Structure formats: structure tokens, C-alpha cells
């Protein structure tokens, strides 16, 4: 088989600059494609979009979690095919957002038992990382994952903040903790944390590209596509 493209994931909090950086990174490769999750253009994505933009829409936390995962499975074949055709795929959010946001709902709902904006109930599945990863097992695993992190005070000043479900400062603080808890940076050297505090767009772009080069994900590879596993 001929060499394949690589799968690069950019994760981060809402408004952390990951969409900007994902687009810039995509443009660095001549044969590349940017995929954003949730992908709101699919059937399942349209339900997710309604859930995120209309705070009166109620879904159980388990259902919402499974829909986000199902939305990734909708694109599974396309991702594999594009990689095999030599495309570099940049993902703007993926499995770690899935786990971190659901896990954060569990923490949030314990603290705010009467507030249903973010979450419905405190259910044990939503606090259980093994349950949360379950539906994503077997999806293509990114060759490199970058988590953009910054201080929450800087985040809430950014444009557009607060429009969607989940864009609450208290909730984002918990989301950040959840990401840092679940990302296995000690044991998995394909995962890197990128501190973007007090850095402009160009500086962050350079930080990201340096890591991409250092990890060798800027060139085609003979390695088989990895799968998400425990």
C-alpha cells in the first residue's frame, strides 16, 4: 500500500482559537481536509446543532453523549479513505471533547442541582470515563493531538462568548480540568498540551508547526492507521 496522510487533532476549550489554528494548519498541506466536530451538516449533526443552540431542547446526557459519538462514526469511512488517498486530515475537536464535556456535566450538575441549562441529571454513566470512551472505541486515532489551553479569564473576553450551551465560565473551568484529567500525556507521546496564554495567532501557529515537524506528522507515513482503544 502507498503511504498515507496523517490525522492531526486540535482540541481546546470554546473560543480557545482552535478553529483559527485548525484552518491555518490545514492550509499548510497541499493535500488536506479540515473536519470539524460536531459536524452540524449531517443528520445527527442537525440534532446536535439544535441541542446546542436552543437551550429549551432537552436530551438526556447519555443521549447527547452518544449523538456526539455517532456524529464521529458518520465520518469514519470518509476519514479512513481520505488518509489512504494521501490527504492530511485536521480535526477541529474529536473524542477528547466528547469525554471532557460530558464528564464536566457530571461535576457541574453535582454543584448546580437545580440548573438544567447545561445538563439534566447526575447520572453515574456521565461521571464514568470508561462508559464515556465506549462508543468511540475503534474510531481512527489521531497521529497527533494538540490541546490548546489558556486561562479562563482570557477566554471569556473573546468574541462570541456565551452564545451557546456550555459557554459559561464556571462550566468551562470544569471542562478544562476534565481535559487535563483525561488526556494521557504521561503515557502517550502523541498528545501535547500547548499553552496559548498571551500569544498572538502567528505565535501559536509557529508553536503548533514546530510540534508537527518534531513529531514527524508533516510527511506521509507507512504506519497503519491507529484505532482508539483503552
Q: List contacts with ligand TMP (CB under 6 A).
A: 14, 37-38, 52, 68, 93, 97-98, 101, 166
The footprint of Mg ion on residues 1-40 (CB under 5 A) is: 14
Q: How many beta carbons lie within 10 A of that of residue 21, not counting itself?
A: 24
Residue 106 binding: pick among Mg ion, ligand TMP, none (C-beta 5-8 Å cut-off by kind): none
Write the CB contacts of 8 (distance below 8 Å, at least 6 apart in sequence): 25, 88, 89, 90, 91, 142, 143, 144, 145, 146, 212, 217
Q: What's the distance, CA 188 to chain centroid?
A: 17
Task: Determine the residue with CB nearest Mg ion.
Answer: 14
Nearest approach, Cβ of residue 176 and ligand TMP (Å): 12
Residues 118 and 61: beta-carbon distance below 8 Å: no
Could you tell which of ligand TMP, Mg ion, none binds residue 52, using a CB distance below 5 to 8 A set by kind? Answer: ligand TMP
Pick what 143 binds: ligand TMP, Mg ion, none; C-beta below 5 to 8 Å, kind-dependent. none
Which of 24/52 has CB closer to ligand TMP? 52
**Residue among 29 and 179 whose Cβ is closer to ligand TMP:** 179
Return the number of the residue (55 or 110) whose C-beta is nearest Mg ion: 55
Of 20, 203, 171, 4, give the one whose Cα is nearest residue 102. 171
CB of 213 to ligand TMP, least distance (A): 26
179 binds, among ligand TMP, Mg ion, none (CB under 5 to 8 A by kind): none
Q: What contacts 24+ positions apart, CB below 8 Å, involve 153-161?
A: 154/197, 155/13, 155/14, 155/15, 155/16, 158/15, 159/15, 160/15, 161/14, 161/15
Residues forming the site for Mg ion (CB under 5 A):
14
Amino acid at each position: 500500500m502507498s503511504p498515507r496522510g496523517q490525522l492531526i487533532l486540535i482540541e481546546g476549550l470554546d473560543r480557545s482559537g482552535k478553529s483559527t489554528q485548525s484552518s491555518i494548519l490545514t492550509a499548510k498541506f497541499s493535500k488536506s481536509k479540515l473536519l470539524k466536530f460536531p459536524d452540524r451538516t449531517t443528520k445527527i449533526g442537525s440534532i446536535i446543532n439544535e441541542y446546542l443552540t436552543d437551550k429549551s431542547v432537552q436530551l438526556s446526557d447519555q443521549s447527547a453523549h452518544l449523538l456526539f459519538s455517532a456524529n464521529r462514526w458518520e465520518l469514519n469511512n470518509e476519514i479512513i479513505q481520505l488518509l489512504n488517498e494521501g490527504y492530511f486530515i485536521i480535526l477541529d475537536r474529536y473524542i477528547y471533547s466528547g469525554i471532557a464535556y460530558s464528564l464536566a456535566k457530571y461535576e457541574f450538575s453535582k454543584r448546580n442541582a437545580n440548573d438544567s441549562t447545561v445538563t439534566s441529571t447526575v447520572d453515574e454513566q456521565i461521571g464514568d470515563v470508561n462508559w464515556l470512551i465506549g462508543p468511540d472505541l475503534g474510531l481512527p486515532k489521531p497521529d497527533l493531538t494538540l490541546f490548546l489551553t489558556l486561562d479562563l479569564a482570557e477566554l471569556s473576553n473573546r468574541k462570541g462568548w456565551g452564545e451557546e450551551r456550555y459557554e459559561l465560565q464556571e462550566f468551562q473551568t470544569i471542562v478544562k480540568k476534565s481535559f487535563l484529567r483525561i488526556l494521557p500525556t504521561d503515557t502517550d507521546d502523541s498528545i501535547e498540551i500547548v499553552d496559548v496564554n498571551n500569544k498572538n495567532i502567528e505565535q501559536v501557529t509557529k508553536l503548533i508547526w514546530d510540534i508537527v515537524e518534531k513529531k514527524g506528522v508533516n510527511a506521509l507515513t507507512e504506519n497503519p492507521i491507529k484505532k482508539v482503544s483503552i
